[in-house]
Amino acid sequence: MEDLGEIVGEFLMESHENLDQIDRDLVQLEQDPNSRDLISRIFRAIHTIKGTSGFLAFGRLEKLAHAGESLLSKLRDGAQPVTPATITTLLATIDGVRSLLAEIEESGNEGQVDVEATIAQVNAQMKAGEAAAAEAPAAPVADAAPAPEPLDETPARPAPEPVENQRRPIGEILVESGAAQAQDVGSALAQQIEGDERKLGTILLEEGKAQPAAVSEALQAQTPKRSIADSAIRVDVDLLDTLLNMVGELVLARNQLVRGVMEIGDTTLVRSAQRLGMITSELQEGIMKTRMQPIEHIWSKLPRVVRDLSQGLGKQVQLVMQGKETELDRSLLEAVKDPLTHLVRNAVDHGIENPDERIASGKDPEGKLTLRAYHEGGHVAVEVADDGAGLNVERIAQKAVENGLLRPDQIPNMDRRDIMAMVFQPGFSTAAKVTNVSGRGVGMDVVKTNIENIGGAVSVDSTPGEGTVWRLTIPLTLAIIQALTVDCGDQRYVVPQVAVLELVFIDGQSTKIEYASGAPVYRLRGKLLPLVRLDRALGLEVGADQGVYIMVLQADGRRFGLVVDRVLNTEEVVVKALNSRFKDIGLYAGATILGDGKVGLILDVSSLARRSHLTADAERQNLEASSRASGKGGSGERLLVTAVGERRVAIPLDTVTRLEEFPRERIEHAGSREVVQYRGQILPLVRLSHLLGAYGEEPEGDTVSVVVYSEGARSVALVVDRIVDIAENSTTARRDAEEDGLVGTAVIQQRVTELLDVRRAILAADPNFYTDLENDELLVEA
Amino acid sequence: MASRQFATFEVAGQLFGVEVHTVQEVLSYNEYTPVPLAPQAIGGLFNLRGQVIAAVDLRVQLGLARKALEGPVMNVILRGDGEPVSLVVDRIGEVVDLDDDTFEPPPDTLSGPTRELVVGTFKLDGRLMLALDVHQAVDTSRATT
């Protein structure tokens, strides 16, 4: 059986390809039931499978294929019309063949796969066809309708079909073209019969009886014209991967060399280096091409998916595919397959309406689903477009609020597309009912994760009543990416260029970073862009707000700015996987070797994006942490100056939520604490005068001034005597605190002012204030 | 008498050893890329002929202060599971043949992080060599105190 291993392997691979083709052809046949070409093609393919399985003694497989073939021969002879039911039966037969093949691949034999049910179905189909044929034209033509081909246990081995694609013997071709002598071919054949395992052409070549060119020509002539697939050889993917890795190394070595040569400045060397550079690029391109496959490979299964699904849902869907020949890296194709299938299923299930609904809204009852693939700026874009009802933005917004993903007040300011992008959030589904296809809220987030894992992006756009377009942007290849190198805290980092929308230089004058309640933002053409400081995200020392760059990035359907010290250049880098010990950090997508030979870390933009969501809170905590630690919060920090007794106490304005005045009589007591009812909540109060030990005269007046501080659902109020001013802290003299409850003293507006330790003050009012927040580990900055 | 070969190296004055077959190579390297937010024991990453290698600071693993990776630093590159990983050490020693009868379990008085990394003690002429557990030594997720 061992010798058979290779043959079986080949048979499996070939059959899988054939089955995919049959699938496509069957679906097409349903559209075009009279195409004899299609029927013959399907027939031939099944026939081949039947023949080989008989030869390899896979009895059940042979039987099943035979059944399918019998039904097909009736269709071919016109004895039975092509109906959706026949197509369904044939597809079921193909599925049966598939599962048998899978079993053979797995265990080497046919296992327990049951084929009888399918065969019975085929027989029933043929009987039904006969009955119909017999009844319909009550034709007197000798009612000798061909007896149903008996499906006995051992189907008669069919006579060799005069199949057009049967290969002509290569010897014949060679002799005919005069490239070889008949007697040489004869003796070569004799050698083969004696056990020479070489192929005929090889024997002739090695014995010098034929020219290589003639043989390869004959081989091509021998190959029936089917597709380019036949002019190709199979290469082990591992080998290609190794080659690709080596080319990657070569690219690195070239980068280093070019850099070195530039420094030396020798013209001859520079020229050689440039030439090496060119050759390397071409080689790289060539190797990349070997891994490229047309996207058709993963699309080929979709007509079947759409057909089965639309039939099951009682919908009519026409599938249009454009740009099938667009090529993608093999590994990427694999990664895109499932997300794409999901999008297609989703479009059929939710996108395209029922025929009645479509008619009611004045559309063609048959929906149109368009798959489009095309190149776009170093990427491949794949679109799944339907002409259905479109996404219901209001409903998505409402759902997002219900799920706590958005606050109601955010909605009016949001872009329509940003709202639509919420569907990519985990657990998000607006489907009114859960079907077995979609609507469980799993899926879109997985689509997004999968696509982002390969460095791509997903977006959605929709017009009510006209349809929805899902768009995948996929890098051409995984291993080498276009990237921007940036500096941050004297280290170099790499940002995948696919995520970069634009760069902004912050000079502190015309462009500057601003803070919204502690969260850094930038006004990008009038809209606020949340910022993430890379140094802070990496736990490094936080640098200045001036003379830095903002990289406007897009990931996770969110736009944010990454603040870095310097942007250097774009480079092609080879992505190296990072060891699992760095996975938990979650900030790095990988590593690469930079032009200078050092290792550079590739930043994970989507995880930075997730961070940007949190900066508002994290930023605040950081601010306190830094002011608590050293009292040297950044320069230019704005302070709220209050009066407490004789003293001036400053509170960083960024941490303040609101300033309020309460009537004195509204202060109530809960235990030993003072509280106020405030917006339906109980707001704990702390008197700064007590906290700071500045007991003195209670100020006159019917109201108290409080500074309200909120985080999440919790609020506390700090009672001060008076709000004095808001000042810019351009500290000249500053001293660290020696007193409890303060972080230091500073000279503000020519007066000594004490800086409040906000965290302590808050804890004095509500000891549990931070507990809940800190339980959420995401909020705790390392 | 069965004997084993050990590659030896010094960290903080103590001689350590790992079995020779676990070592891929020994080299001195001086450019490390720090990994912010990585476990303390990760000294950095470096480029070994195109491969990205993590350098684990054995000092940190032993509960000592981190070594500043400035200038050339000696790396003992271990084969590791699937991918090489480097141990940063102070000085490389010799390769020694050791008979099994010079082996003893770690002394009871040995405690702290070192105890978890050491599988035994070999009595050499004039000094002791602690044999490291290769897996433990490069396990940076281990809580170091």
Evaluate whether ipTM surpasses 0.90.
no
Check: CB of residue A736 under 8 Å from CB of residue A631: yes
Q: Mean pLDDT in chain A?
A: 76
| C-alpha B28, offset from chain centre | 14
Angle at A153 (CA atoms; ends A150, A156), nearest 5 degrees? 65
- Beta strand pairing call for A379-386 and A467-475: antiparallel
Q: From chain B, pick out residues whose CB is under 8 angstroms from the CB of A780.
A: none
The pTM of the whole model exceeds 0.95: no
- Name A170's Cβ contacts closer than 8 Å, sequence gap at least 6: A200, A201, A215, A218, A219, A222
Query: What per-residue confidence (pLDDT) applies to A168?
Result: 64
Query: What per-residue confidence (pLDDT) applies to A493?
Result: 93
Query: What per-residue confidence (pLDDT) applies to A694?
Result: 63
Find the closest chain B residue to A535 by CA distance.
Answer: B36
Mean of the pLDDT values across residues B40-57?
85
Supply the angle between the helices A116-135 and A84-107 in degrees, to the nearest 10. 160
- Name A780's Cβ contacts closer than 8 Å, sequence gap at least 6: A774
Q: Which residue has the higher pLDDT, A629 or A90?
A: A90
Please judge whether A491 and B141 are an interchain contact, meaning their C-beta atoms are less than 8 angstroms apart: no
What number of CA atoms fall less than 13 Å from residue A159's CA on the CB side? Answer: 1
- Beta strand pairing call for B85-89 and B51-57: parallel
Mean of the pLDDT values across residues A522-527?
83
Question: Does the pLDDT at position A143 exceed 90?
Answer: no
Flag whether residue A233 sits within 8 Å of chain B, measured between CB atoms: no
Which DSSP state fits A577?
P
Which DSSP state fits B41?
T
pLDDT in tens, A404-449: 778 888 787 777 777 888 888 776 765 554 444 444 444 787 788 8
Query: What per-residue confidence (pLDDT) applies to A430?
Result: 56
Query: What per-residue confidence (pLDDT) applies to A690?
Result: 77
Give the pLDDT band of residue A551 (cuts 50, 70, 90): very high
Please judge whether A593 and B46 are an interchain contact, meaning their C-beta atoms are less than 8 angstroms apart: no
Q: What is the CA radius of gyration of chain A?
A: 37
Query: What per-residue confidence (pLDDT) applies to A578?
Result: 76
Task: Report the range out of A42-51, A750-759, B64-73 with the highest average pLDDT.
Answer: A42-51
CA distance A502 to A497: 10
Give me A537's structure tokens: 């995200």
Please judge whether A581 and B42 are an interchain contact, meaning their C-beta atoms are less than 8 angstroms apart: yes
CA distance A469 to A383: 6
Nearest alpha carbon to residue B4 among B99, B103, B120, B131: B99
CA distance A400 to A557: 14
pLDDT in tens, A59-102: 888 888 888 888 888 888 878 888 888 888 888 888 888 888 88
Flag whether residue B31 sits within 8 Å of chain A, measured between CB atoms: yes
Enumerate the H helices of A423-574 as residue ranges.
444-453, 534-537
Please judge whether B54 and A581 are an interchain contact, meaning their C-beta atoms are less than 8 angstroms apart: yes
Give me A68's structure tokens: 């399918």
% of chain A exceeding 70 in pLDDT: 77
Query: What per-residue confidence (pLDDT) applies to A133?
Result: 57
Distance in angstroms between the alpha carbons of the first and the last residue of chain A: 60
Query: What per-residue confidence (pLDDT) applies to A160?
Result: 45
Query: What per-residue confidence (pLDDT) applies to A312?
Result: 86
Nearest to A593 among B34, B47, B54 (CB): B47
Query: What per-residue confidence (pLDDT) applies to A645?
Result: 74
- Name A46's Cβ contacts closer than 8 Å, sequence gap at least 6: A22, A65, A68, A69, A72
Mean of the pLDDT values across residues A599-603?
90
Nearest alpha carbon to residue A97 among A72, A124, A134: A72
Q: From chain B, pick out residues whose CB is under 8 angstroms from the CB of A597.
A: 31, 47
Check: CB of residue A26 under 8 Å from CB of residue A98: no
Query: What per-residue confidence (pLDDT) applies to A563?
Result: 93
Just give the CATH number of B3-138. Answer: 2.40.50.180
Q: From chain B, pick out residues whose CB is under 8 angstroms from the CB of A598.
A: 31, 33, 46-47
Q: Mean pLDDT in chain B?
A: 84
Query: What per-residue confidence (pLDDT) applies to A624?
Result: 42
Please judge whether B46 and A599 are an interchain contact, meaning their C-beta atoms are less than 8 angstroms apart: yes
Flag whether residue B50 sits within 8 Å of chain A, measured between CB atoms: yes
Give me A82's structure tokens: 């092509």
Instruction: Compute φ and ψ for A443, nearest 5 degrees.
Output: 130, -75
Nearest alpha carbon to residue A247 among A181, A291, A307: A291
pLDDT in tens, A660-687: 777 788 888 877 778 888 777 788 888 8
Q: How many CB atoms lie within 10 A of CB A313?
A: 15
Flag whether residue B94 sits within 8 Å of chain A, measured between CB atoms: no
Mean of the pLDDT values across residues A286-303?
83
Give me A469's structure tokens: 């377009």
Please judge whether B35 and A249 are an interchain contact, meaning their C-beta atoms are less than 8 angstroms apart: no
pLDDT in tens, A106-136: 777 777 777 788 888 888 888 877 666 555 4
Flag whether residue A276 sits within 8 Å of chain B, measured between CB atoms: no
Give the pLDDT band of residue A732 (cuts 50, 70, 90): very low
Helix or strand (DSSP H, E) at B116: helix B113-117
What burial letters (b/e) apply to A20-30, b meaning 16+ CB within 10 Å? bbbbbbbbebb
Question: Does the pLDDT at position A454 exceed 80?
Answer: no
CA distance A16 to A278: 40
CA distance A162 to B136: 69
Closest Cα of chain B to A183: distance in Å? Answer: 57
Query: What per-residue confidence (pLDDT) applies to A156?
Result: 43
Check: CB of residue A656 under 8 Å from CB of residue A645: no
